[in-house]
Amino acid sequence: MTIQSSEILETIRMVADQNFDVRTITIGIDLHDCITNDIAQLNQNIYNKITTIGKDLVETAKILSAKYGVPIVNQRISVTPIAQIAAATKADSYVSIAQTLDRAAKAIGVSFIGGFSALVQKGMSPSDEVLIRSIPEAMKSTDIVCSSINIGSTRAGINMDAVKLAGETIKRTADITPEGFGCAKIVVFCNAVEDNPFMAGAFHGSGEADAVINVGVSGPGVVKEALANSNATSLTEVAEVVKKTAFKITRVGELIGQEASKMLNIPFGILDLSLAPTPAVGDSVARILETMGLTVCGTHGTTAALALLNDAVKKGGMMASSAVGGLSGAFIPVSEDEGMIAAAESGILTLDKLEAMTAVCSVGLDMIAVPGSTPAHTISGIIADEAAIGMINSKTTAVRIIPVSGKNVGESVEFGGLLGYAPIMPVKEGSCEVFVNRGGRIPAPVQSMKN
């Protein structure tokens, strides 16, 4: 079988000019066997397990990256939600566990560790509550620990007590970390998936094996260039181009995932094909939508364009790998996407439009900076709205929102690196305080009678 020169050059162009990369190799690690009632011992067990299983991850990624000539940008660890692991300690703070995760992750050289998490969609155990209350201090005293809370699901409804607490937690984190930066590491989910390798929402679900390799692939630039260089005229043809491109990039992830699995002797879990943008020019999801024929992302037609893109990515990916999972689709973080930033700065991409877009794409309101004066109950209201979209539509939705202390609409905030920068976006006047303070649970929706 000979490979055509044009195919070789196409692959090289993807990597060299279009920012194609394997975004992350993530080892998911189950921590249930670390459980003990002594928190010092628990910390030691967690440290030992992570550093033993993860010790060769960074080196393996380096070898594979060199072998195939494709950048593997991040190596990460996700662990069992800590609220489940720490319950037996009866401790009143889990900050020391976050610090242990931070130390272990740094010891093996990974860029992030996710799983300082609680799943409270139906109810909150005392341990879940301790975990959530530990989040602000944990975010302040660690560098690379990511935290998530699942506050709702289609089967359980929305736990509004947890939504209220999540709003307060984000607000508190914003107050005690510089420019609210800690909030960039907190995701509030509805219908969280348990095999997601993308941060900040990665954790290792209870239904997973002892350790698994999950791979996240990304290439918004590749899709945009493929569209720009194609002869596609109708949207049917546009979808076809996206599908074929998604197929090619997924296959690279599959190859690298399988190989990493062999080298590390850890089973291959899933491949997450997501168009995850970066602040680099040419690596933007917003620009793909604009290539389809919008003058600016956020104008009318954006939701439809995003729906087409998201679905075509999934279709191409499914054909390319038999283990597509995670959140596969298009991500629309504002601060991490050069096109989204520009659209938000122009005032055309608003919180309302972003919320509508989340109904048809992966995840949800992501990396959105709002005024520091935004009250906790307003943040809870935003979370509840987003969770409702996920709950009713049987999909994952999430909120990663950053109230930037001391800043207001018209200013912007710089997070640096992959997290980018963001204009402060306005939130609505009016108050949902009484609604949020009612607490209780929004009942699970009926699954038949879809309309």
Partner 1 sequence: MANSVITVIGKDRVGIVYDVSKILAENQINIVNITQQLMDDYFTMIILVDTSKCSKSFPELAEFFTQESKNLALDIRLQNEEIFKAMHRI
- Residue ranges that bind partner 1, judged by CB under 8 A: 1, 3-5, 7-12, 16, 62-63, 65-70, 248-249, 251-252, 254-255
16 vs 281 by CB, closer to partner 1: 16
Q: How far is CA 87 from the centre of its chain?
A: 26
Q: Compute the least distance from the CB of residue 71 to partner 1, in Å.
A: 11
Q: How far is the CB of 15 from partner 1 (least distance, A)?
A: 8
Min dist. Cβ of residue 62 to partner 1 (A): 5
Q: State which residue, 62 or 90, has the beta carbon closest to partner 1.
A: 62
CB closer to partner 1 out of 65 and 299? 65
Give the CA distances from residue 407 to residues 162, 410, 424, in Å, rounded to whole numbers and listed in that order. 27, 9, 8
Nearer to partner 1, 63 or 444 (CB): 63
State the nearest-atom distance from the C-beta of 247 to partner 1, in Å: 8
All residues at 6 or more sequence positions from 265 whose CB lies less than 8 Å from its CB, including other chains: none
Q: Are 386 and 397 in contact (CB under 8 A)?
A: yes
Query: Is the Cβ of residue 12 or residue 228 nearer to partner 1 in the bound state?
Result: 12
Nearest-approach distance from CB 69 to partner 1, in angstroms: 4
In whole angstroms, the minimum distance from the beta carbon of 333 to partner 1 comes to 27
**Nearest-approach distance from CB 42 to partner 1, in angstroms:** 36
Question: In this complex, which beta carbon is closest to partner 1, that of residue 3 or of residue 434?
Answer: 3
**Which CB atom, from 55 or from 103, has the smaller least distance to partner 1?**
55
Nearer to partner 1, 317 or 423 (CB): 317
The distance of closest approach from Cβ of residue 79 to partner 1 in the complex, given in angstroms and rounded to an integer, is 28
Give the relative orientation of helices 376-392 and 160-176 as an angle to the nearest 10 degrees: 130
Nearest approach, Cβ of residue 251 and partner 1 (Å): 4
Instruction: Select 23 or 407, whichever has its Cβ closest to partner 1.
Output: 23
Q: Which residues pair with 268 in a beta bridge?
A: 213
